[in-house]
C-alpha cells in the first residue's frame, strides 16, 4: 500500500517535473527537496528484516542495497540512511576542495537498456578538512562507506588516515573517468599496487577498491591480484564507463545506468570465481530493478551499489528491492539472503 503510493507520487514528480528541467537545475531541485524532508517519516520506508542482513568484509549491512558514491552533504547522507539503504557511500573526497568541472557536467541519455546519465562531475567536493568536520554531525544509523580519490599513492594514504576513524568501511576510487590522474591509475597497475600497500598500512578498517569497467585486462592481470596481495577486503565493480558526449563541458564523461548492467553481472561472476570467498564484492552499475539486483547477488555479489536508480526510480528504490529479495528468500525456502548464492 505504502510502496505503490510512494512510487506513483515519485513517478509523477520525476516524469512531470524533474525529467523536464535542465539536468543541473533538476539536480539542485531534487537535492534541495530531499534535504528538506523530515527524517522520521523516511524511516517508514526502510525494510528492517534480519533475513536481509549481509556481511561485507566483516561489516554487517542490514540490507544489501548500497547508495553508491555521489553525495557529500551530510544532510543527504543522513536521509539516505533513514530510507533503509544497507550502507551509504560518500562522494569521493579529495585533499583540497574542488569546484568540479564547469556545467554542463551532467546529461540524461536514453540507452537501449533504459534511462541513464553521463556525467563529468570532476569530484566537486569540499575537500578533506571541511568534510572531516562535517562528518562529525553524521550519526551512523547505517554503515558509512567513505570514498577517497587522490592524485598520488601518498595522497590516498593521507586521505584514508584522516578519514578512516569516521568510516565503517573505506573505498578507494581509482576509476572515475573524469579526472585524468585518477582514471589513469587503472592503466598503471604498479602504482595501484604501491597505493594499496600504503593504504593498507594506514587503516585496519575494511578497504574496498572500486574498479573501472574500461580496464578489464589490467583489472584481471594485475589490479585484482594486487588487491589480494595487499590484503584489500572488497572489490566494487564498478564505476561509470567513459563515453564521448559533446553536450558536456569536457566533451566526454562517465555513463551510468542500465546499459552497464550486462558487463557488471558477467564481471562479478568472473571476479567471484577468481577471489572465492577471500574478498567481498559489490556490484555497481545499472542495477535499477529488483530482478537485476537478484541477478547480481546470484552472480556472486555480497551487496549491490546504485546511484542512477535513486534518481530515475526514486527514494523508494531500496524498499522495492529489499521487499523483492525477501520474496525470493521465502519462495526458495531459504533462511537468509546469504544462502541465496548457494541456492542457485
**40-69: which residues touch ligand FMN (CB under 6 A)?**
68-69
Task: Specify the pairing of strand 54-56 against strand 59-61.
Answer: antiparallel
Cell numbers found for residue 321: 528491492
CA dihedral 300, 303, 309, 313 (to 10 degrees): 110
Q: How far apart are the C-alpha atoms of 50 and 277, rounded to whole Å?
A: 22
Closest C-alpha among 27, 42, 9 to residue 318: 42
Altogether, the residues listed in the chain come to a count of 344
Site for ligand FMN, residues 308 to 327, rule: CB under 6 A: 308-309
Identified binder of ligand FMN from the candidate list 94, 176, 212, 267, rule CB under 6 A: 176
**240: which residues sit within 8 A by CB, 6+ positions away?**
118, 119, 176, 177, 213, 253, 254, 255, 256, 260, 285
The least distance separating ligand FMN from the CB of residue 87, rounded to whole angstroms, comes to 13
Q: Residues 6 or more apart from 133 whose CB is under 8 A from it?
A: none
φ and ψ at residue 207, rounded to 5 degrees: -115, 130
Q: Which of 284, 289, 292, 316 binds ligand FMN (CB under 6 A)?
A: 284
Should residue 289 be labelled a site residue for ligand FMN when binding is judged by CB under 6 A?
no
Q: Which three cell numbers stand for residue 77?
A: 547522507
Q: How many residues bind ligand FMN (CB under 6 A)?
A: 27
Nearest CB to ligand FMN, comparing residues 123 and 269: 123
Binding of residue 179 to ligand FMN (CB under 6 A):
no
Residue spans of beta strands (DSSP E) within 9-131: 54-56, 59-61, 65-71, 87-90, 106-111, 114-119
Q: Closest separation between CB of residue 80 and ligand FMN, Å?
A: 13
Of residues 205 and 236, the one with the C-beta less far from ligand FMN: 236
Shortest gap between Cβ of 45 and ligand FMN (angstroms)?
19
The answer to whether residue 285 forms part of the interface with ligand FMN (CB under 6 A) is yes
Exposed, middle or buried by CB within 10 Å (0-12, 13-18, 19+), for 180?
Answer: exposed
Instruction: State the minimum distance, in angstroms, from the CB of residue 253 to ligand FMN.
Output: 9
Q: What mask, x for binding ligand FMN by CB under 6 A, covers residues 182 to 221?
A: ----------------------------x-----------
Site for ligand FMN in 103-162 (CB under 6 A): 106, 117, 119, 121, 123, 147
Contacts to ligand FMN by CB under 6 A: 68-70, 91-92, 106, 117, 119, 121, 123, 147, 173, 176, 210, 239-240, 256-257, 260, 284-287, 306-309
Amino acid at each position: 500500500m505504502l510502496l505503490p503510493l510512494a512510487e506513483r507520487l515519485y513517478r509523477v514528480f520525476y516524469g512531470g517535473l524533474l525529467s523536464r528541467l535542465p539536468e543541473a537545475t533538476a539536480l539542485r531541485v531534487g537535492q534541495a527537496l530531499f534535504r528538506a524532508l523530515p527524517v522520521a517519516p523516511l524511516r517508514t520506508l526502510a525494510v528492517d528484516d534480519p533475513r536481509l542482513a549481509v556481511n561485507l568484509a566483516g561489516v554487517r549491512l542490514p540490507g544489501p542495497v548500497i547508495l553508491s558514491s555521489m553525495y557529500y552533504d551530510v544532510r543527504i547522507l543522513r536521509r539516505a540512511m533513514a530510507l533503509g539503504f544497507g550502507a551509504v557511500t560518500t562522494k569521493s573526497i579529495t585533499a583540497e576542495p574542488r569546484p568540479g568541472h564547469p556545467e554542463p557536467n551532467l546529461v540524461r541519455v536514453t540507452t537501449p537498456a533504459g534511462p541513464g546519465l553521463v556525467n563529468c562531475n570532476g569530484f566537486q567536493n569540499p575537500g578533506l578538512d571541511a568534510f572531516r568536520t562535517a562528518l562529525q554531525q553524521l550519526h551512523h544509523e547505517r554503515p558509512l562507506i567513505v570514498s577517497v580519490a587522490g592524485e598520488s599513492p601518498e595522497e590516498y594514504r593521507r586521505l584514508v588516515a584522516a578519514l578512516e576513524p569516521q568510516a565503517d568501511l573505506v573505498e578507494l576510487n581509482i576509476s572515475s573517468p573524469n579526472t585524468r590522474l585518477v582514471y589513469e591509475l587503472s592503466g598503471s597497475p604498479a602504482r595501484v599496487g604501491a597505493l594499496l600497500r600504503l593504504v593498507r598500512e594506514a587503516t585496519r578498517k575494511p578497504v574496498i577498491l572500486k574498479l573501472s569497467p574500461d580496464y578489464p585486462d589490467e583489472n584481471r592481470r594485475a589490479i585484482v591480484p594486487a588487491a589480494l596481495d595487499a590484503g584489500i577486503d572488497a572489490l566494487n565493480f564498478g564505476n561509470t564507463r567513459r563515453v564521448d558526449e559533446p553536450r558536456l563541458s569536457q566533451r566526454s564523461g562517465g555513463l551510468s545506468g542500465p546499459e552497464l548492467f550486462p558487463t557488471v553481472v558477467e564481471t562479478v561472476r568472473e571476479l567471484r570465481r577468481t577471489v572465492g570467498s577471500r574478498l567481498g564484492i559489490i556490484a555497481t552499475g545499472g542495477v535499477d530493478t529488483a530482478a537485476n539486483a537478484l541477478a547480481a547477488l546470484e552472480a556472486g555479489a555480497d551487496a549491490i551499489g546504485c546511484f542512477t536508480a535513486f534518481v530515475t526510480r526514486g527514494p523508494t528504490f531500496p524498499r522495492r528491492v529489499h521487499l523483492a529479495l525477501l520474496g525470493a528468500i521465502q519462495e526458495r525456502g531459504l533462511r537468509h539472503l546469504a544462502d541465496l548464492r548457494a541456492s542457485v
